[in-house]
Structure 1
Amino acid sequence: MARDATEAQSKKPHIVVLASPGLGHVTPLFEFAKRLVLLHGCHVTFLNIPTEASLAQTQLLHSPNLPLGLSVVDFPTVDLSGVVEDDAPALTRLSVNVQQTLLSLESILLQLHKPQAVVIDLFCTQAFEICKELSIRVFMFFTASTRLLAFSLLLPQLDRDVAGEFVDLPEPIQVPGCSPLRTHDLLDQVRSRKSDDYKWYLYHLSRVSMADGVFLNTWEDLEPAPVRAIRENAFYKKTLTAPVYPIGPVIKETESVTETGSECLAWLDKQPEDSVLFVALGSGGTLSAEQLTELAWGLELSGQRFIWVVRAPDDASACASFFTVGNDTDADARSYLPEGFIERARGRGLEVPSWAPQVAVLQHSSTAAFLSHCGWNSVLESLAHGVPLIAWPLYSEQRMNATMLAEEVGVAMKAVAEDTAETRVVGREEIEKVVRMTVEGGEGKEMRRRARELKESAIKALSNGGPSYESLARVATQWKATLKN
C-alpha cells in the first residue's frame, strides 16, 4: 500500500510551498497547498520556519488530519540572538529570521529531489537565487490585496523620485490604474524611509519581478480595478513581466474547534439571526489599555449582542501578539476589562480569551457583522461568508484595506478615532454609534446585502469552471507538463 502511494505521488508534480512566519502568511499558503493537493493533482511539501513560531502556527501545521499528498517539513531552528535585536520591528525580525533559516534551503530541496516549483510569499525572496542555482522555477503567492501589490510595485520608482518622506507628500499618491492612495493610509513599513522595516520592504518588493508567476489572493469582482491594472496597465506590464493569477479567495475552509470554541458556537446557536457582532483583531492585533476600556464601554452602551476575542492590552505595540498568538488563552480578562463589565454583559455578550474559531463564527447565521482589524485573511473570510465589517485597522496595510472596503467595495464602516496630543483613540460614543448602525441600522442592512453578493460571487469564482479555479488549474497543468515521462 505504501509503495502504491509512493508511485502515485511520483506521477504528480511535486511543489514546495514556503511561507514566512506568522499566521497571516502561513494560513493562506497552507490552504493553497491543500488546494493543490485536493483539487489539482499535486504532491506538496510545506516548509515550516519554526523559529519564533506561535503555538497557533505550530498546531495548525502539525495537525494529524493533513490530506494524503501534503507533508510538512520543519527547517532547523536558528539562533537569532546576536543577529537581530529583541526589540526590532516585526518585518525586520521576520526577514532576518527567514534569511538565517534559508541557509539550509538548498540542502532541503536536494533532499526533496528538486521539486517542479517552489511557491513563496513576499518575505521569502532570498529563495530566488537558491532556486535559480538549482534550476527550480519560483512563483510568488501575494498574501495581501492586489491594491497593495499595485502600490508596492510602484515603490521602487517612488523611492527614486521622491526626496522626503511619503507621508509628507501634499497630495495623494497616484497609483497607475487604481484610485489615488491617501498618505494617511500608507502601510507602516513605508512611513519612515530611514527604518529597517522600510529597507526590508523595498528589498523584497524590488525582487517580485524575479518570480515566474504571481498568485493573487483575490477575485475580480472584489478588486476589479487593481486586477485589471496589474494585467493591462503599461506601467505594470513593464515592471512585472511574469503572469498574474487571481485564484482567491484562498481561506480556511474548516478549523479545529477547542472546548472554548464549542462553548462559543453553542452560545451563538441561542441568538437570533443577524444579531451578533463578532469582535476579533486578527492573529497579531492588540489594543492599548485605554482603547480596550473604550471598546468595552462602547460595546456595553450599544446594547447589541457580541462575541469578543479579548487579549491583554499592550501600550507599546499594536501587533504585540504577532509571534505569540495562542499562547495566552488562560489569561483572566477581569484583570484588564472595566470592573463589572463581564457581569453586566452576561447573556448579551461573550468574552473569549485570545482565540476563537473565526470561520465557524462567520459562517453562523446569528453573526451580523465583524469588527475587524482588516487584515486581508480576515477580510476574505468575512466576505466569503457574506458578513460586513466595522473597520478597525491597527498596523501594516490595514488602513488601506479599510478605506477600500468602506469607500470602494461598500461592505465596511469605519470607526473614527479622536486625535489628542498624546493618543489616538476611538471613543466609546463613536463605538456605540457605529455598532448600532452596522448591526441594526439601514447602513448595516445595505452592507450586508453587498457582502452577500460578494459571497455568491466568490462561490462562483472558486467552483469548477470559475475564473479563480481555472486560473490555478492552468498553472497546475503547466507543472504536470514538466514531469518526465
Structure 2
Amino acid sequence: MGSLSSDAPIHVVLFPFMSKGHTIPILDLARHLLLRRLAATITVFTTPSNLPFVSRHLAGTSASAVALPFPGDIPGLPSGVESTDALPSMSLFPAFANAAALMQPSLEAELQRLHPRPTFMVSDGFLWWTLESASKFGIPRLVFYGMSNYAMAVSYASTIENHLRGPMAEDEPFTVNAFPWIKLTKNDFERHFSQPMTEENPYLEFIMKVAVAMGKSNGLVVNSFQELEPAFLEYWNRECVPRAWCVGPLLPLERPVACDPQLQTTWAQWLDRKRAGGERVLYAAFGSQAEIPAAQMREIALGLESSGTSFLWVVKKRESEIIADVDGGFEDRVSGRGMVVREWVGQRDILMHESVHGFLSHCGWNSVLESVWAGVPILAWPMMAEQPLNARMVAEEIGVGLRVEAADGTARGFVRGEGLAKAVRELMEGEKGEAARKKAKEVAEMARKAAEEGGSSWTALEALVEEISRKRKDHTG
C-alpha cells in the first residue's frame, strides 16, 4: 500500500442499510480499513435513530458518523421507524426500502461538503440509488450485499436457467447446469422470484433496481473468504458483474479485553457455570427479522425441553410472551438446564464461549460466519430471504452443520417439537453432529488463515483498495 500513501489520503464513505444485520459487518469493515491503515478517513452515513448504535460500534476509532434525516409520513410505515428491526411486519419492507431513496438529496448535500473528497464509497446493495449520487461526484461505488458467493451464484444460475418460474411444484427438486451436484427447489428462494413483476409484486421491482445498480458499480465487497466457496466465487467473477472481492470474515481484529466478573451479564455467568460443570450448551437464536408463528414458538420450546440438552435461547419481546404461556411453566421446568434471554446479546461472545457446542440458527449469513469463526456446528433452520440457500451450503456443501426437518419434509414446513428434539440430540451427541463439529473446527482454521496477514482476505482487501484508489486518481486526473 506504499504507493497510496504518497497520494492524497484515502477517504472511504460507508453507507449501510438500516438493519443491524446489514450495519454491523460494514462497521467491522471500517475497523479493518483503519486498523490496517488502508484508509486515513472514514465517514459512515446513517439515520438519527441509528446514530447511537453506529457510534457505539465505532467507539475508539477515528471514523465519524453522519446522520441523514429519514423521511417521515410515508404511507403504511409507522412514524419514527428507521430500521427494519423495528418494523411490525416484514411485509412493510418494500415501502421502507423505497422510502430510504428519499434520503438522496441529503446524502448529496453531505457528499458535497466532505473533505477530503471521498476516494470511494461502499454502500449496501439495497441502497441502489446511491449509485447515481456517487456518479454525480465522480466517486467509485462498491456494493456490499451481506450474502455468500454460494447464494449469489446459485440464485443467478437458477434465474438465467429459468428454474424459478413455470408449473413445477414448490418442493420438486431441480439441478442447475452450472452446479450439477446441488439439488434445489423453488422453496429455497423467496416466492417473489417466481411471480410476475406487477404492481402486486413491489419486492421484485425493488430487487431489479438493486441488481441494475449493482451491475453498473465498480465492485462487490463480499463478507466471505475464498477458501470457503472457491467454485462459487470463480463462477460469479466469470459470469457476472461487477467483480466480487472476498474480504471476510468481517469480524473485529482487536483481541477481546477480559471482562470484570462483576460486570458480566447473567447469561455470561450462566455459561461460565456450565463450562465449570463440563456441560455442552446449545445456543438458539433466529435473528431480529424472522416472524415465527405462536404455534411454531410453542413447538420450539417443547423441543428444547424434551431434548435433554442444556440451552441458551435468545428471544424477542413478542416471542417471550408466547413462551410464558407454554404449558404453564416452561421456564420453571427447564430451570438450571435452559435459559431464556430477552435482551440484546453479544452473539460472537456466546459462540466463542467454551461451553457452546452447537448453534440452532436461522442461517443468516452473519450468523453462519460467526459460527464458522468460532468452530461451532450449526443446526440449520432457515426462515426467510436467502437463508434456505445458506442452510444448504452449511449442511450439504461445506458440512459444518445439520438440517432441521419439517414434519412434511418440505423446506418451509412446520417443525414439530419431537423432530426438533431429535435433531438437537444428533447435533450435540450423535455421530453426524461430531463429524460436523470436526469439520467446523477445520473451517475455523481456514477462516483465521484467510484473515491473517498474507491470507487471501487480507491481500484481497489491500488489492481492492489499491485498484479502486487508482481508478479514482485516473478519473480525476
Q: Same fold (TM over 0.5)?
A: yes
| In 1, Cα distance between equivalents of 2:19 and 2:450 | 27
Q: What displacement does 1:109 show?
A: 0.6
Within 1, Cα distance between the matches of 2:415 and 2:427? 16
Distance 1:476 1:25 in 2: 21
Q: State the Cα distance separating 1:276 from its structure 2 match.
A: 0.1
Structure 1 unaligned runs (5+)? 1-7, 315-330
Distance 1:298 1:190 in 2: 33
Q: Is the 8 A contact 1:186 1:399 kept in 2?
A: yes
In the TM superposition, what is the alpha-carbon distance from 1:467 to its structure 2 partner? 0.5
How does the TM-score come out when normalised to structure 1?
0.84
**Contact 2:378-2:400 at 8 Å conserved across structures:** yes
Aligned position for 2:82: none
Residue in structure 1 matching 2:68, options 75, 78, 90? 75
1:448 equivalent in structure 2: 437
Equivalent-residue separation in structure 1 for 2:192 and 2:34 (angstroms): 34
Cα distance change, pair 90–378 in 1 and its aligned pair in 2 (3 A): farther
Q: 1:62 aligns with which of 38, 41, 55?
A: 55
Change (3 A) 1:33 1:274: farther
Does the CA-based 8 Å contact 2:171-2:187 persist in structure 1?
A: no
Q: How far off its partner does 1:169 sit?
A: 9.6
Matched residue, 1:181: 184
What is aligned with 1:230? 236
TM-score by length of 2: 0.85
What is the match of residue 203 of structure 1? 209
Q: Which amino acid aligns with 2:96?
A: L
Write the distance in 1 (CA, Å) between the matches of 2:303 and 2:234: 40
* In structure 2, C-alpha distance between the alignment counterparts of 1:413 and 1:155, rounded to whole Å: 24
Q: Aligned partners of 1:376, 1:135: CA distance in 2, in Å? A: 32
Q: Using the alignment, how far apart are the partners of 1:333 and 1:252 within structure 2?
A: 35
1:310 and 2:315 matched: yes
Please give the alpha-carbon distance, in whole angstroms, between the structure 2 residues aligned to 1:84 and 1:429.
Answer: 39
Structure 1 residue 408, shift from structure 2 partner = 1.1
Shift of 1:443: 1.3
Any idea what the Cα deviations from partners look like across 1:426-462, whole Å, max 9, x if unmatched? 1111111111111111211111110011110000000
The structure-2 alpha-carbon separation of the partners of 1:282 and 1:170, relative to structure 1 and needing over 3 Å to count, comes to closer
Cα gap change, 1:303 to 1:143, in 2 (>3 Å): same
Question: Greater shift after overlay, 166-175 or 40-49?
Answer: 166-175
Could you tell me which residue of structure 1 aligns to residue 338 of structure 2?
349
Q: Name the counterpart of 2:21.
A: 24
2:19 & 2:59 partners in 1: Cα distance?
A: 20
Selected match of 1:37 from 34, 43, 48: 34
- Cα distance in 2, alignment partners of residues 87 and 348 from structure 1: 33
SS at match of 1:425: coil
Provide the C-alpha distance between the structure 2 equivalents of 1:263 and 1:464, rounded to a whole number of angstroms: 36
CA apart distance, 1:350: 0.9
1:324 maps to: none
How far apart are the structure 2 equivalents of 1:203 and 1:157? 17
Identity %: 27
Aligned CA distance change for structure 1 residues 428 and 131 (closer, same or farther; 3 Å): same
2:210 is the alignment partner of 1:212? no
Counterpart for residue 365 of structure 1: 354
Distance in structure 2 (CA, Å) of the matches to 1:475 and 1:209: 17
Q: Equivalences for 1:266-285 in 2 at 5 Å? A: 266-272=269-275, 273=278, 275-285=280-290
Corresponding residue for residue 10 of structure 2 = 13
Which residue number corresponds to residue 127 of structure 2?
A: 124
8 Å Cα contact 1:286-1:312 kept in structure 2? no
Q: Which of 145, 149, 152 matches 1:149? A: 152
Instruction: Find the aligned partners of 1:115 and 1:11 in 2 and give their Cα distance.
Output: 10
Indicate the larger mover: 366-375 or 213-222.
213-222
Partners of 1:260 and 1:416 in 2: CA distance: 40
In structure 2, how many angstroms separate the alpha carbons of the residues matched to 1:260 and 1:184?
A: 45
Residue type of the alignment partner of 1:417: A
Q: Is the 8 A contact 1:117 1:136 kept in 2?
A: yes
Give the 3-state SS of the residue equivalent to 2:360 in structure 1. Answer: strand
